[in-house]
């Protein structure tokens, strides 16, 4: 299995590709699935800010586009602008749609060490159909 540090390293590698001309806040994500496969995503901004795409949803969309059918196990999220780069509410709801019961969000602390958070911590009482 891919370690949390490896997932963060992969997220950093794709962070460089982010299109963030407005905020200058580049974000990278690496989503690990139950199948053992991982998918990368970076944020893509748009002049109409509501049409921007977060790195996390980009990674999940890439998995879906590549035919991934297993559950989302972990996602690592990084930004060179800050430590503790937490997902927005929309991304948290996306995680809820596709995640495994033991889903984890991996971010970096101030010393660039991995920190893990469970879905129940970041989105308690999530909406499900």
d(CA 74, CA 53): 19
d(CA 51, CA 112): 30
Positions marked active-site? 56
Give the SS3 label for residue 114.
strand
pTM (2 d.p.): 0.94
Q: Which domains does the chain have, with CATH numbers?
A: 4-122 (3.40.140.10)
pLDDT tens string for the chain (129 positions)?
589 999 999 999 999 999 999 999 999 999 999 999 999 999 999 999 889 999 999 999 999 999 999 999 999 999 989 989 999 999 999 999 999 778 999 999 999 899 999 998 999 887 777
Predicted pLDDT at 120 = 87
């Amino acid at each position: 299995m891919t370690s949390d540090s490896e997932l963060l390293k992969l997220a950093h590698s794709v962070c460089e590709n982010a299109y963030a001309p407005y905020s200058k806040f580049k974000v990278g994500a690496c989503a690990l699935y139950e199948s053992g496969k991982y998918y990368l995503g970076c944020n893509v901004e748009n002049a109409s800010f509501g049409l921007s795409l977060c790195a996390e949803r980009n990674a999940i969309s890439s998995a879906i586009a590549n035919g991934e059918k297993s559950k989302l196990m972990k996602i690592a999220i990084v930004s060179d602008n800050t430590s503790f780069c937490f997902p927005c509410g929309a991304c948290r709801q996306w995680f809820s749609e596709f995640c495994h019961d033991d889903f984890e969000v991996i971010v970096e602390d101030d010393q660039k060490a991995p920190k893990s958070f469970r879905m129940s911590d970041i989105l308690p009482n999530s909406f499900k159909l």
